[in-house]
Structure 1
Amino acid sequence: MMSVPSLKRRFAALVYEGVVLFGVTMAAGLVFALLADQRHALSWRGGLQLFLLAVLGLYFVWFWTHGGQTVAMKAWHIRVVGPDGAPPSTGRALGRYLLSWLWFAPSLLVIGLNGWHESGPIWTALGIGMLAYVLLTLVLPGRQFLHDRLAGTRLELHRPAPRPARPTR
């Protein structure tokens, strides 16, 4: 059985994933702006948000179903697997993607219900919500995230087999 990656390793992969996703969302935003003939950043805002939700879903589902690792997960030797230890099926990966929004959903609900628009309360709510979500791993079986438990997936520490040494001449 593979071991569970530490929270430190998972956080490092999350930060790296954020850098990768910055580029993905910028490119997707440009494509959307060109296709929608968007002339102002706030026009078609809802459409852009749905488009980005779909693009991010495609990104994650494709990588998770094709080897179980995104670029960041590969760099940090983390792999997502289904109950059988293989990369998750498309349906399971899509479920994991949608359930992973539980990281933010409670905080976003609090922000929306309170009508907050200032960055201070918004970042505070998001920070507290994400910290609470991470702390759940301390009580959940296998130290997995809630969305993994609900989706029937798990994260594993995955170190590929070492490559054979190249012969010297």
Structure 2
Amino acid sequence: MSHQPHLQTAGFIRRIGALIYDTCLILILEVLAAGVIVAILETMVAIGLIHYGIYKDVSSFLTHHPFWSSIFTAYLAIIWIGFFVWCWTQKGQTLGMKAWRLVVSNEDGTPITITQALIRLFTSGFGLSNLTVPLDPQKRGFHDIWAKTNLYVIPKDKS
């Protein structure tokens, strides 16, 4: 994409629509990612390679073990963070953004960097930063202001 001034900045409703789509997608990805770990651990228990010790089942082990619960949480966080960072830096959009014809980029149309994606994600407040869109004259969310990014609407003829 080249210079973006001709594209309309995304408004509040489109942003929330994409957020709802992406929330559903992330939940599915997280369930699948957790399912892979559960399947691996249950297989290892079944063939006698490990046992849960004082924990009654895999769920208790993954949520209460002092070491493995932290590793499991970090693994799920990496899946979540990686999804957004990869989508935003490689494609400029997530699946939810694609459905709502949105693209995130720098003002000149260049893709955002990994640093910008991380800033955007960590200042988004799980999407709550979009509440600032109606208050900003340029229709930017708090996270876009901090990351120096813009969210644009792709015209129908270009999507």
Task: State whether residues 82 and 89 of structure 1, in contact with CA within 8 Å, keep that contact through their aligned partners in structure 2.
Answer: no
Which residue matches 1:10? 15
Which residue matches 1:154? 150
1:58, distance to aligned residue in structure 2 (A): 1.0
Which residue matches 2:91? 67
Secondary structure of residue in 1 paired with 2:58: coil
Secondary structure of residue in 1 paired with 2:19: helix
* TM-score of the two chains, using structure 1 as the length reference: 0.68
Matches within 5 A, 1:18-167: 18-34=23-39, 39-41=58-60, 42-43=63-64, 44-100=68-124, 102-103=125-126, 130=128, 133-159=129-155, 161=157
Between 1:55-64 and 1:28-37, the stretch displaced more is 28-37
Cα distance in 2, alignment partners of residues 10 and 62 from structure 1: 19
Alpha-carbon deviations, 1:76-95, whole Å to 9, x = none?
00111123222212222222
Secondary structure of residue in 2 paired with 1:161: helix
Relative to structure 1, is the Cα distance of residues 36 and 98 closer, same or farther in structure 2, using a 3 angstrom cutoff? Answer: farther
1:64, distance to aligned residue in structure 2 (A): 0.7
Alpha-carbon deviations, 1:3-40, whole Å to 9, x = none?
11221111111111112112111111123334566712
Secondary structure of residue in 2 paired with 1:64: helix
Q: Which amino acid aligns with 2:90?
A: H
Between 1:91-100 and 1:41-50, the stretch displaced more is 41-50
1:147, distance to aligned residue in structure 2 (A): 0.9
1:162, distance to aligned residue in structure 2 (A): 5.3
What's the Cα RMSD here? 2.4
Cα distance in 1, alignment partners of residues 126 and 31 from structure 2: 22
Unaligned runs of 5+ in 2: 43-56
1:160, distance to aligned residue in structure 2 (A): 5.3
Q: How many residues align structurally?
A: 135
* TM-score of the two chains, using structure 2 as the length reference: 0.72
Greater radius of gyration (CA): 2
